[in-house]
Chain A
């Protein structure tokens, strides 16, 4: 019940494309859903996060869509750039402490 399942494992898009990464969870106690971006040799950095009382949140070129009934949430990257090439992780938690991460999506944005 603690798992967060993420797909796809890898994704290749052209510059300007809109990659979409999907996550699903089982634990209905989760109430905070962040997305992290990780570059090689670095730790994860918080990108954007959402609470389940809203269905969508936008920050710059990054958008989270949240479907509480389906227990799914997704990350959209608008007008993707080569600099967005990184590994993206969805995560969830329920008590402000431990984060449960998805398996990660390696995104490549070709010029």
Chain B
């Protein structure tokens, strides 16, 4: 039973470019949340998707957007990349209504140069 799968594992982009990160949730999960983890910091909530809609959003600018597909997989898009966007981007999946089944992927390491 595969856990949460994220791709790519590493990515290097130039300031001003756009990036798309992908996440496949754990089998049986229907909700996907995205987190940004800067080096040496705790993860910060970006947004959550359920039933293909953004349900909650953290304190991130509109440059950060997402999408959820009918198979529950999700994408995180970041436009106009800044150096400060360099971080580990984590995807977590869960089952709606179940508090304790949050499962994280290993993340995508994004470096903006």
**Which A residues contact B (CB, under 8 angstroms)?**
6, 32, 34, 36, 41-46, 49, 89, 91, 93, 96-104
Q: Which residue of A lies closest to B90 (CB)?
A: A43
Interface residues of B in 22-73 (CB under 8 A from A): 33, 35, 40-45, 48, 55-56, 58
Docked CA distance A91–B45 (Å) = 12
Asked if B78 is at the interface of the complex by the 8 Å CB criterion, the answer is no
Q: A100 to B102, Cβ gap below 8 A?
A: no
Please tell me which one of the listed residues B41, B90, B92, B97 contacts residue A96 in the complex, with CB atoms under 8 A apart.
B97
Which 6 residue pairs are nearest across A and B when measured between Cβ atoms?
A101-B42, A43-B104, A98-B45, A96-B99, A43-B106, A44-B104
Q: B99 to A104, Cβ gap below 8 A?
A: no
User: From residue A69, how far is it (CB to closest CB) to chain B in Å?
Assistant: 23
Docked CA distance A43–B34 (Å) = 12
Q: A97 to B33, Cβ gap below 8 A?
A: yes
Please tell me which one of the listed residues B42, B56, B107 contacts residue A102 in the complex, with CB atoms under 8 A apart.
B42
Docked CA distance A109–B107 (Å) = 25
Please tell me which one of the listed residues B40, B48, B90 contacts residue A104 in the complex, with CB atoms under 8 A apart.
B40
Q: A103 to B41, Cβ gap below 8 A?
A: yes
Docked CA distance A102–B43 (Å) = 8
